Structure 1
Amino acid sequence: MSDLLRIAIVGFGEIACRQHVPAIAKTSGAALVAVVDPVKTPPGLPYFRDLQELLRDGPEIDAIALCTPPQLRQALAAAALAAGKHVLLEKPPGSTLSELAPLIAAAHEANRTLFATWHSRYAPAIGPARKLLASRTIKKVTIIWKEDVRVWHPGQTWIFEAGGFGVFDPGINALSILTEILPQQVFVRSAVLDFPANREGPIAADIELSDEDGLPIRAEFDFRQTGPPSWDVVCETEAGPVTLSKGGRQLRDGNRLVVDATDDEYPALYRRFVALTSEGKSDVDLAPLRLVADSFMLGRRRLVEAFED
């Protein structure tokens, strides 16, 4: 392989255009060399209609970044690993938990990297929040993760289809932060999921969680918020609240602003991907996906009014 990690993006939707392309361009030791998408044709790059066409006729590549809807990722990741390529999985890593175990085994067998990414964990305030909370006694956690689906996911009809996660597509970002900053494993205790009468995925969810010591945790997810989004995690401690906001870009300790930084999540993801491939390691943490699966398993389904995009 080349010293440069040559990457092809598979699935050239909004997240690939807005985040992955500029992040790869900023990453030393990585280069975007091809794109696969059945519809979009990016300028200035070799373009292929499907993965098999890329593998057969495309330029030499070392890695695949899978940015398709989650329902498609398992088969594409399996094919890429079988072809000897490293694989980066956009979040969520798949539609089910069971489909990830064979991919982990295949990556190990092929001596290739499998990286299940949780981009919100790489937000600039997450590391400082974890360190701050390690010295505190946490008494309660409240997550408010609400946004306007029409603004943040325009035209993405797959998100409300079976396996598309609905409001858990952004909500899993909050759960990835939660499982990163708390010292103990977290469990879902109960959930109420709001399903529009004309959709297969939930538009809102209220979830009660706790750790092994009974720490009360509540998460509120909603796709129906208008105006600015709310991406907040508030940890009540014996010394006052520790608040993560703006999706993990801002941290306050009480009233004191500790971190207020710009978005560097995806460049950090790709720096991690380059490091993993050079070290011959994988990184597949499924804790956030388990919490989503448990929410669907335990959740009480509540029908709400039809939703039209």
Structure 2
Amino acid sequence: MSQIKVAIIGCGSISKHRHLPEYVNHEQVEIVAVCDIVEERAKETAETLGVEAYYDYEQLLTNPEIDAVSVCTPNYLHAPISIAALKAGKHVLCEKPMATSKEEAEQMIAAAKMSGKKLMIAHNQRFVPSHQKARQLIESGELGKIYSFRSAFGHGGPEGWSVDGKDSWFFKKEQAFIGAMGDLGVHKTDLLRYILGEEFVEVGAFVETSAKEGADVDDTAVCVLKTESGIVGTLAASWSYVSKEDNSTIIYAEKAIVRLEDDPVNSVIVQYKNGEVVKYELGGIQTNESGGQSSSGVVNHFIRSITEDLEPAITGEEGMKSLQVVLAALASSETKQITKI
């Protein structure tokens, strides 16, 4: 069984809590290098793992030993680093949102095609058991026609999670490009596209900065979305949910209401029209709260796509479609009009 040699670019919280532990626990992976522009951080991570430290990603990419990289940097660097890595012949697992514009996303997709390497976007919500169950229920026709949905993703903000706390890049527009909508909202646009099996065609949104003083990005957004078949619903993304994280989705259908991650024990609750209630205990969703760091499934899937030469579940194209919904929401908020995608 050949080992996939992996490097991680960006040694902040997402790499520390998600990518690194999942690579370390994967028997087919050998981490060979890490990179961060904050030298201290790169050194510390490299020492812990007993691997090489780099402070410049371009230098890291010249290392012929590296097969694949995880891009765990601030949002504005996702595209340039991913493109450089693909051109250097490395497979790429890139954090979300994949890019800051449709043009950037298209360049990433083109680079993956040219290089023949895998490009996967780390939308982990698709791998959550409750979400996979909901997709099956909808796909099988068991719920009948889907009418509407309501989805939220919110917590107290990245300062409780990011390595830089209140000074985090998450709050700085030139590095983050968007706030809660990019951090959390894009997870949900991807999830809803996945569960419903449809594309969104129109968005209306209010995207505000109300909770975080000194932030020049959004911290609270509410969107109304419409799919091609006419399913309408709401998506909220926020850093202003001050107590418990909310990561719930509710689907309203002809024959039942399905509640996902809305109950602490039963991750799926199906409330049928005839009064019957079915509960599924499928294991919880990943949270940023302590003890919530089970495997997200993302790294396992990425490595499998390389070793078995499969198309990743979340390709660049998929990542771009989920990003476009967010870009349309921003446009809607600015123009005060419904935006077509």
With structure 2 as the length reference, what TM-score do the two structures score? 0.80
After superposition, what is the alpha-carbon deviation per residue over 1:22-73, rounded to whole angstroms, capped at 9, x for unaligned? Answer: 11122232221211012202122211111123234x5721011100011012
User: Matches of 1:138 and 1:156 in 2, distance apart?
Assistant: 43
1:115 counterpart letter in structure 2: M
- The answer to whether the aligner puts 1:74 opposite 2:79 as a matched pair is yes
2:160 counterpart letter in structure 1: V
Secondary structure at the aligned position of 1:227 is classed as coil
Residues 78 and 252 from structure 1, CA distance in 2 versus in 1: closer, same or farther, beyond 3 angstroms?
A: same
Q: Out of 248, 256, 260, which is 2:282 matched to? A: 260
Q: Is contact 1:194–1:202 with CA below 8 Å preserved after alignment?
A: yes
Equivalent residue number for residue 331 of structure 2: 297
- 106-115 vs 225-234, greater mean Cα deviation: 106-115
Secondary structure at the aligned position of 2:281 is classed as strand
- The answer to whether the aligner puts 1:251 opposite 2:257 as a matched pair is no
Equivalent residue number for residue 89 of structure 1: 94
User: Matches of 1:247 and 1:268 in 2, distance apart?
Assistant: 22
User: Matches of 2:180 and 2:249 in 1, distance apart?
Assistant: 17
Equivalent residue number for residue 151 of structure 1: 160
Equivalent residue number for residue 51 of structure 2: 45
Equivalent residue number for residue 167 of structure 1: 180
Secondary structure at the aligned position of 2:235 is classed as strand
User: Matches of 1:291 and 1:67 in 2, distance apart?
Assistant: 22
After superposition, what is the alpha-carbon deviation per residue over 1:148-182, rounded to whole angstroms, capped at 9, x for unaligned? Answer: 00434434632222243211111211221111000
Equivalent residue number for residue 111 of structure 1: 116
- The answer to whether the aligner puts 1:183 opposite 2:173 as a matched pair is no
Q: Is contact 1:69–1:164 with CA below 8 Å preserved after alignment?
A: no
1:186-225 to 2 correspondences below 5 Å: 186-196=200-210, 198-225=214-241
> Deviation at 1:242?
0.4
Q: Is contact 2:74–2:169 with CA below 8 Å preserved after alignment?
A: yes
Q: Is contact 1:26–1:267 with CA below 8 Å preserved after alignment?
A: no
Secondary structure at the aligned position of 2:103 is classed as coil
Equivalent residue number for residue 270 of structure 1: 299
Q: Structure 2: state its 5+ residue gaps.
A: 272-276, 287-292, 337-341
User: Matches of 2:209 and 2:296 in 1, distance apart?
Assistant: 35
User: Matches of 1:46 and 1:59 in 2, distance apart?
Assistant: 14
Q: Is contact 1:111–1:280 with CA below 8 Å preserved after alignment?
A: no
With structure 1 as the length reference, what TM-score do the two structures score? 0.88
User: Matches of 2:259 and 2:138 in 1, distance apart?
Assistant: 11
User: Matches of 1:103 and 1:247 in 2, distance apart?
Assistant: 38
User: Matches of 1:160 and 1:101 in 2, distance apart?
Assistant: 26
Instruction: Count residues in correspondence.
Output: 300
After superposition, what is the alpha-carbon deviation per residue over 1:70-125, rounded to whole angstroms, capped at 9, x for unaligned? Answer: 10122211221222111111111111121121222222222211112211111121
Q: Structure 1: state its 5+ residue gaps.
A: 303-309
Secondary structure at the aligned position of 2:247 is classed as strand
Please report the RMSD computed on the Cα atoms of aligned residues, expressed in angstroms: 2.5
Residues 21 and 246 from structure 1, CA distance in 2 versus in 1: closer, same or farther, beyond 3 angstroms?
A: farther
After superposition, what is the alpha-carbon deviation per residue over 1:172-201, rounded to whole angstroms, capped at 9, x for unaligned? Answer: 112211110003212333111112574321
Secondary structure at the aligned position of 1:260 is classed as coil
Secondary structure at the aligned position of 1:98 is classed as helix
- 90-99 vs 274-283, greater mean Cα deviation: 274-283
1:32 counterpart letter in structure 2: I
Secondary structure at the aligned position of 1:293 is classed as helix
- 151-160 vs 88-97, greater mean Cα deviation: 151-160
Equivalent residue number for residue 339 of structure 2: none
After superposition, what is the alpha-carbon deviation per residue over 1:108-151, rounded to whole angstroms, capped at 9, x for unaligned? Answer: 22221111221111112111110112221222201122210043
